[in-house]
Amino acid sequence: MNCRPSRGFTFIEIIVAVSIIGVLAAITTGTIISIRKSANNGAIKSNLAALQLRAELYYRENRSYSDQTDSSCQAGMFSEPGIAQALATADEASPRGMGTYGVHCRLNTQAYGVWVERPEDSPTTYWCVDSKQHACGVDLGLQATPDGIVCDCVSDE
């Protein structure tokens, strides 16, 4: 009997192992992307809720959200450090940042609205909070920026 010791794997064994690793990697990647989107959605909503609370405190102290109309996310109440931090942290979780249609702010003396792009596949869906105590999802559709100063809610997710 002529028995030679095996020196390694056969080509078929290697192909099967690589195929299994590929399938596991594909499943894991999809799960990680889904978890990341969910975490970013939660971060945006949490920071917008904090912004909404701080905005009401700002209004109670100053009897106004701002002394001017603004859409830069920097004047009036947006210059208060706690509000600025909540907005900046929500902005970090957004797919696009301020100045690139990822975050929109509208502000006047008696009202405000903030829209932050959701980490979804559609670049027209946003989370929104406003001075009317709305906190909801909005879809801007074909318009590039929000129209008005309050949220036009499509969902209360």
Would residue 144 count as lying in a domain? no
Would residue 68 count as lying in a domain? yes
Would residue 150 count as lying in a domain? no
Would residue 97 count as lying in a domain? yes
**Mean of pLDDT values over 22-34:** 90
What's the per-residue H, E or C state across the chain? CCCCCCCCCCHHHHHHHHHHHHHHHHHHHHHHHHHHHHHHHHHHHHHHHHHHHHHHHHHHHHCCCCCCCECCCCCHHHHCHHHHHHHHHHHHHCCCCECCCCEEEEECCCCEEEEEECCCCCCCEEEEEECCCCEEEEECCCCCCCCCCCCCCCECC
Would residue 6 count as lying in a domain? no
94, pLDDT greater than 80: yes
Domain that holds residue 114: 11-139
How many domains does the structure of the chain reveal? 1
Q: What is the mean pLDDT of the chain?
A: 86
Would residue 131 count as lying in a domain? yes
Would residue 17 count as lying in a domain? yes
**Mean of pLDDT values over 57-64:** 95
Q: How confident is the model at residue 97 (pLDDT cuts 50, 70, 90)?
A: low
